[in-house]
Structure 1
Amino acid sequence: MAKELSDKIAVVTGGAAGLGRATVERLLEDGARVVIADLDPDLGESLANGYGPDVRFRRTDVADAEQVRGLVDFAVKEFGGLHLMVNNAGVSGAMHQHFLDEDFADFQRVLSVNLLGVMVGTQAAARHMAANGGGSIVNISSIGGIQAGASVPTYRASKAAVVHFTKGVAVDLAEYGIRVNCVAPGGIPTQLLASATAAGQEGDAEEMTRRIRAHMAAVQPLQRQGTPRDVAEAVAYLGGDRSLHTTGTVLTIDGGTTAGPKPLRA
């Protein structure tokens, strides 16, 4: 049986760890050739060498538009094309106890990585795809961009913007056979939450991270711990031919959290 992504070339930003690494591994299983883009050259090169000849690494800061454009050019040069662009790289920013304590010190960095990086990555990939028969672009948002909450306002705003941007360009790029979709994870254990609490909390950041994770698990209707692999499966689906009639959609991978909290039972 042929693998669904055989002969497909993919780029995954933030691909050396967390959701990105799981996505790289899932795409490789399905036969794709993959460029890992990440800020960590040691880890990125090590992974690329370990995964074998179907993987390349390119150090990329997605906040730098020229580096993102260079990333797409690199993928095309190395593998001969680009069929799937996964704009996954993201940062959280510092988590403060209250909005009145927010100093917006990391505002530019969060917006540059989480939003500008996605926008430029989408445009650079689409320019190639438009001239070469179309393709698929998957932008990673978060349920924090869908569901209101009292913390990390800049992060939430950036992820909400990714959702709206994705829908808009999906309409704009459809004439070229380019599908643009969004995956919104929630409750997936990665280092993003820990980095946010460590950067902004006074006191025991590790304990705060544990309490937040416990709260998220308590209100999630589906009592199963989500994993990076769950997100990777969604990306693989949106990147393959099973989703040829799907564009401008947001696929939540959150155990039902955005549908509503787990009900209280007597």
Structure 2
Amino acid sequence: MELGLAGKAALITGAVSGIGRACAYALAGEGVRLGLIDRDEDAGRLLESELGACVPTRFVAADVTDEVAFSAAIGEIATGFGGLDAAVGCAGVSGQFGRDVDDVSAAEFNQVLHVNLTGQFILARESARHLRFSGSPSLVFLGSDSSFVAAPRMLAYNASKGGLLQLTRALAVDLAGDGIRVNCVCPSIVDTPLARDDLMISSEELRRQDYPVQSPEQVANHVLYLVSPASYPVNGTSLVSDFGYLARSSFPA
């Protein structure tokens, strides 16, 4: 399939690890100019150097919870590239993993929402200022199967990903006049450093569990499609990659 991405400019948050890193390499492989944002400056500079050997790449260190710095980083990258064609929101945290509701403070709850939901809103608001001048603008968020179902003892994460799904729909409606498509990729568990840290498990052990696990590269392939002009009619929806779990009936036949 011809994706039509060569020469486009894309911005990725949470770019140095896991799904964000896989998206960076996947987009670079299609000849996309890359803007990378992450709070880990050392890892970001290294990734900038690696990808810069293949495509024009700019890294700016910023935390998505710092509205001023994050907004400035988006503007710096967009200005440097003379505009943006796509933005991919991969920055996220799992929050209070394995904690009962009684043990989660309002501050902890709000911190997860700040990263996973408000940070995505800021990305959309700031990138839209530049995306609206593209011939094929696209905004893609990284949601989760937890946008639809609730994993036990992950209260704030579940709430943030459910909110992100509705944010996707609302932005698709509000930005339609600018021609900006907004979609969300919702994978089940992915073999990332974040998932392994939460479960206190190695990559090898994770892949031996009795539930299916996907790779960051598989998720990045979905992002590639949604970012590309090839998916032009697709807007305001979610691409669920969960091995068919949501399609299963609870009927015990």
Give the stretch that moved more between structures: 11-20 or 142-151: 142-151
Q: Distance in 2 between matches of 1:84 and 1:242?
A: 13
Corresponding residue for 1:188?
A: 190
Aligned with 1:79 (options 77, 81, 84):
81
Q: Match of 1:245?
A: 233
Q: Take 1:38 and 1:211, find their aligned partners in 2: how far apart are those partners?
A: 26
Q: CA deviation at 1:98?
A: 3.3
CA contact (8 A) 1:141 1:184 kept: yes
2:209 match: 214
Matches within 5 A, 1:222-241: 225-241=213-229
Shift of the 144–40 alpha-carbon distance from structure 1 to 2, 3 Å rule, reads same
> What 5-or-longer segments of structure 2 have no aligned partner?
none
CA–CA distance in structure 2, aligned partners of residues 212 and 155 of structure 1: 23
Q: Distance in 2 between matches of 1:193 and 1:112?
A: 19
Letter paired with 2:238: V
1:58 to 44, 57, 60: 60
Alignment of 1:15-164 (within 5 A): 15-52=15-52, 53-133=55-135, 135-164=137-166
Larger CA deviation: 122-131 vs 30-39: 122-131
- Deviation of 1:58 after TM superposition, in Å, equals 0.7
Q: Give the percent of matched residue pairs that are identical in Structure 1 and Structure 2.
A: 34
The 2-side partners of 1:2 and 1:177 are apart by 21
Aligned residues: 250
- The partner residue of 2:171 within 157, 169, 172 is 169
Deviation at 1:109, TM superposition (A): 1.8
Alignment check: 8 A CA contact 1:39 1:61 kept: yes
Q: C-alpha root-mean-square deviation of aligned residues, in Å?
A: 2.7
- TM-score w.r.t. length of structure 2: 0.89
* AA of the residue aligned to 1:38: D
Residue 262 of structure 1 and its aligned partner are, at CA, apart by 10
CA distance in 2, matches of 1:92, 1:213: 22
1:54, distance to aligned residue in structure 2 (A): 1.4
Preserved CA contact (<8 Å) 2:191 2:206: no
